[in-house]
Structure 1
Amino acid sequence: MRDRNPLPPRSARAKTPVHAHAGQGQLRIIGGQWRSRQFDFPMEHGLRPTPNRVRETLFNWLAPYIEGARVFDPFAGSGALYLEALSRGASMALALDLNARAIASLRQTLETLNCSNGQLLQTDALRHLENQPGTPFDLVFLDPPFSLNLLAPTCQLLEEKGWLAPGAWIYTESENRPSSLGLPDNWRLHREQKAGQVHYALWQRSA
């Protein structure tokens, strides 16, 4: 994920054809076994990677919980949070994105890293969340496109369909303050900060 200011929405649902942009961005993994490795990601319409400084803060918050965690990123975009979690010891991670080039790029990165515990699906996140997972997740990253009002329905489906383990951690990025998001009542706000115009927060679920 790259530094941004201002911060346009990140791609979860392709608003333009996947071949509309041919450029490449670059992300750097901050910590863990792949620390300092750099990888390309496609500069697709609306793809908004999380800045390095925000990632570093987030994974400092998550340091006691990331080892062995099952991780889910339904709006993966560049995959920086997803790759960072795998680098830092997540037992497995599933990433979704509707954009074919984003998923293809992530698949190539996993092959380069010889990573066998990362899973990828090119699919619509809300449609996929209508299903029930075989095993719930310990950590979820939620950074959907701001303009499509996807955060609240995504959180509702995570709760209703059993995607979250008891005590699961949920990370959110939003244009609005975390207290105004109307997220599930059993999610406790653990930490929050603001970078530019974006609020980012870590929540813990109680069963």
Structure 2
Amino acid sequence: MTKPVPRPAAHAAHEVRIIGGQWKRSKLPVADRPGLRPTPSRVRETLFNWLGQDLSGWRCVDAFAGTGALGLEAASRGAVEVVLVEQDPVLCKSLQATAQRLKAEGVRVERGEGVAALRQRAGRSLDLVFLDPPFGEDGNEPLFGAALQAARQAVGEQGLIYLEAPRAWTDDELAQIGLQAHRHGKAGMVHFHLLRPLAPQ
């Protein structure tokens, strides 16, 4: 009798882990959905080193939530209010299940389009907006521009915007939107930026 060949652990690539805070090492499922590209753990680690490990009292929106890795990482580190915005109904259901499993009281899942959700929050003086839109074959430039403009209107003067993109955004491009680069990094083909509002002239 031949022994069955063990199947490879396919699930390994289908989850990411929260890397800090109260839910450290908690697993987040990664559904097999078009364009879903979770922020790698080393990029998240760099980002939260930039932000500081304690986000107590912060109000955040993860505008293209996907797995929720960015927003849930913020909530794990003390953010008091985190809205996870996602268009895909399958991903929304997964996000809601994860929030319930973690007993994440300050986390709300909102089904909708990221730019529209941010426009609805214009003038809210949010502390932090995460922008990790789907790249697409053409880089999805119009979506990135619209998302940055909407995020700029939603954050306060001391607020921050995290942007993950297929290229680096220049100082001139950002200045036209009223933003400036605070930090920038690159991991593989992905550029990640921490942006802040330009001071009024």
TM over 0.5: yes
Gaps of 5+ in 1: 1-23
Summarize the Cα distance change of 1:203–1:133 in structure 2 as closer, same or farther, 3 Å threshold.
closer
Match of 1:202 in 2: 194
Runs of 4+ in 1 over 6 A off after TM superposition: none
Q: Deviations over 1:40-73 (max 9, x none)?
A: 2312111000101001000010116622110111
Match of 1:45 in 2: 34
Tell me, yes or no, if the aligned pair for 1:30 and 1:52 is still in contact at 8 Å: yes
- The yes-or-no answer on 1:168 pairing with 2:159 is yes
Q: Deviations over 1:128-157 (max 9, x none)?
A: 334245733100111111233211111112
Match of 2:25 in 1: 36
Q: Higher helix share goes to which structure?
A: 2
Match of 1:187 in 2: 179
Task: Give the 3-state SS of the residue equivalent to 2:38 in structure 1.
Answer: coil
Task: Give the 3-state SS of the residue equivalent to 1:31 in structure 2.
Answer: coil
Task: Give the 3-state SS of the residue equivalent to 1:49 in structure 2.
Answer: coil
User: Which of 110, 126, 130 in structure 2 is aligned with 1:121?
Assistant: 110
Summarize the Cα distance change of 1:187–1:142 in structure 2 as closer, same or farther, 3 Å threshold.
same
The residue correspondences of 1:33-182 to structure 2 (distance < 5 A) are: 33-63=22-52, 66-132=55-121, 135-147=124-136, 148-149=140-141, 150-159=143-152, 162-179=153-170, 182=173
Q: Percentage identity across aligned positions?
A: 38
RMSD: 2.0
Gaps of 5+ in 2: 1-12
CA distance in 2, matches of 1:58, 1:106: 22
Aligned length: 182
Task: Give the 3-state SS of the residue equivalent to 1:110 in structure 2.
Answer: helix
- TM-score, length-normalised on structure 2? 0.83
Tell me, yes or no, if the aligned pair for 1:156 and 1:184 is still in contact at 8 Å: no
CA distance in 2, matches of 1:175, 1:106: 25
CA distance in 1, matches of 2:158, 2:103: 31
Bigger Rg, which one: 2
CA distance in 2, matches of 1:155, 1:179: 13
- TM-score, length-normalised on structure 1? 0.81
* Higher RCO (C-alpha 8 Å, min separation 6): 1
